[in-house]
């Protein structure tokens, strides 16, 4: 094998490896939005055989409770005549997770539907830095899964932006 053939073979190998990584990475997409199946759900109403569970989310920024608006995920651009797979009906922070059958619903999907940022370094417009941190508690226990945490029925999810402790 001459040098040109070695370079071509290496290039082909790298191309195949890159394609494999892109195709097998199930939590990302080319547009930067996670590829969570629940983001595609749009239900016309509460009828039929749907899975319906609830979780509650609260957000505290520097000691101040942040109101989570009503009707997030109701008649939006993705679902103009219905409800997204994760939505709110009121401003209590109670999330309705309604899907056509059992489906994983990461808490990050709610923030994506809301159009807000949430991960281990961001909550809404706040960014963790040398002095501040984003922490999450699920049912009273600190949780490090952040946006990838799969919500379960009855979960109480508390997200805080606070001074580092």
Mean pLDDT by 10 residues, the chain (165 residues): 52 44 42 81 80 95 97 93 95 95 94 97 97 98 98 97 95
Q: Nearest CA to 64 among 153, 161, 136?
A: 161
Domains of the chain: 37-163 (2.170.130)
Three-state DSSP class for residue 37? helix
The number of helix segments (H) and strand segments (E) in the chain equals 2, 12
- Measured torsion, CA atoms of residues 26, 109, 103, 143, in degrees rounded to the nearest 10: 90
Residue at token pair 């989310």: 57
- The rounded distance, in Å, linking the Cα atoms of 1 and 157 is 60
Amino acid 113: pLDDT:
96
pLDDT of residue 2: 66
CA pair distance 90, 140, nearest whole angstrom: 23
How confident is the model at residue 18, as a pLDDT? 47
């Amino acid at each position: 094998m001459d040098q040109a053939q070695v370079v071509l073979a290496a290039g082909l190998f790298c191309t195949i490896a890159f394609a494999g990584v892109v195709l097998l990475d199930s939590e990302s997409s080319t547009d930067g939005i996670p590829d969570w199946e629940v983001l595609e759900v749009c239900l016309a109403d509460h009828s039929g055989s749907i899975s319906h569970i609830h979780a509650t989310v609260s957000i505290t920024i520097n000691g101040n409770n942040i109101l989570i608006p009503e009707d997030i995920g109701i008649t939006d651009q993705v679902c103009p005549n219905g409800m997204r797979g994760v939505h709110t009906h009121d401003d209590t922070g109670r999330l309705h997770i309604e899907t056509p059958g059992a489906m994983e619903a990461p808490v990050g999907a709610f923030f994506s539907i809301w159009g807000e940022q949430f991960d281990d370094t961001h909550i809404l417009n706040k960014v963790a830095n040398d002095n501040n941190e984003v922490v999450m508690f699920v049912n009273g226990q600190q949780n490090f899964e952040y946006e990838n945490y799969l919500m379960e029925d009855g979960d109480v999810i508390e997200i805080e932006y606070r001074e580092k402790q």
